[in-house]
Amino acid sequence: MFCLALAVGAVGAHAEDKTRVLLGTATPGGGFPVYGAAFAATINETDPTLVIETMNTRGSGENIPLLEARKIDIGLVQGESAHEAINGIGRPPADLRVLTAMYSSPGMFVVRADSPARSIRDLVGKPVAFGAKSSGLVILARYVLDGIALDQDKDFKAVYLERAGDGPPMTLDGRVAALWGGGVGWPGFQVMAASPGGARFIAPDADEIRRILAKHPFLRPQSVPAGTYPGQAAKIDSVGSWSFVLTHPALPEELAYRLMRAVHKGETAMAQRLPAASETTAANTFAAAPRPNLIHPGALRYLRESGIAR
């Protein structure tokens, strides 16, 4: 999919080869398209020989097969989707590689501030929007609820969205009792928290977190810092995983090296564009990857040359 295109500068300037890279994101209204825009703008600015082009998809569930078919060069994939694909859970193992870590995704529900619900169990039997059907956040919800002996389809009136952006208005007008989401700066949470009536977050309690981690140890304790969303005075503890920019192993090593180098050099600019992207760092990539050999060889070579990886 990657290609070379000639870009002609000002009169008298030499023609310059640019490498175009196609990035799969997700449905409008969710966090992935916002992140993808910040990622593309930063890479394009940091390394003018690269051109990242974004494409809306149905999210993690579509990005994985698109990567396997090499119809996109890189794709945004939520942590649980990556875990299942790489380890062959419910499907043949996917031969994919980590280009860079994106951000951590602590999962939780959001309700209107006037909702009587105070715990996850208070939502049982209620209509709950779990996100777009192919979104990795839906898979995170399944693992979190399974860890406390709940089933998202049997114990809730599960609603799956065509577009991630449909969730907040459905929650605000009462069509659903709660919206599931994850991460710092997630657009659905931002809309809910900034609404005139305000919002409240519901996450697993300490005992539920312990039970979830005992049953699904690939998940990690994660938190949303106080003040992340309007009206959120206290830190919110939950569980989640790291989302990744994944690629296929056929991506040229030198191109992966250049992309990782641009990510490293653009860390400050990325964070300025999008607070959640402050976690997109070379150091986090090496720390968050499930195993070093799952990092693309070109990206890993850059990490080693930079002294980030041994």
pLDDT of 230-242, one tens digit each? Answer: 999 999 999 999 9
For 111-140, what is the mean pLDDT? Answer: 94
Neighbours of 43 (CB within 10 A): 24
pLDDT of 241-261, one tens digit each? Answer: 999 999 999 999 999 999 999
Q: What's the domain count of the chain?
A: 2
Same domain, 183 and 205: yes
- CATH code (residue 172): 3.40.190.10
| 207 located within any domain | yes
| 254 located within any domain | yes
Of 240, 260, 289, the one marking the end of a domain is: 240
Same domain, 129 and 232: yes
Of 240, 263, 292, the one marking the end of a domain is: 240
Q: Which residues constitute the domain of residue 154?
A: 107-240
pLDDT above 70 covers a percentage of the chain that reads: 95
| 53 located within any domain | yes
For 270-277, what is the mean pLDDT? Answer: 93
Same domain, 298 and 278: yes
pLDDT of 90-99, one tens digit each? Answer: 999 999 999 9
Same domain, 226 and 263: no
How much is the pLDDT for 29? 82
Same domain, 114 and 219: yes
Same domain, 100 and 247: yes
Same domain, 111 and 236: yes
| 249 located within any domain | yes
Contact assessment for residue 42 and residue 259, using Cβ atoms and an 8 Å cutoff:
no
How much is the pLDDT for 1? 53
Under the banding of pLDDT at 50, 70 and 90, the label for residue 4 is very low
pLDDT of 6-45, one tens digit each? Answer: 343 333 334 358 999 999 999 888 889 999 999 999 999 9
Same domain, 186 and 234: yes
| 310 located within any domain | no
Same domain, 37 and 137: no
| 221 located within any domain | yes
Of 184, 215, 240, the one marking the end of a domain is: 240
Same domain, 125 and 231: yes
Same domain, 147 and 233: yes
When the pLDDT of each residue in the chain is averaged and rounded to a whole number, the result is 93
| Edge-first strand listing for the sheet containing 157-161 | 157-161, 127-132, 178-182, 107-112, 199-202
| 83 located within any domain | yes
How much is the pLDDT for 8? 34
pTM of the model: 0.81
How much is the pLDDT for 135? 83
pLDDT of 52-67, one tens digit each? Answer: 999 999 999 999 999 9
Same domain, 82 and 207: no
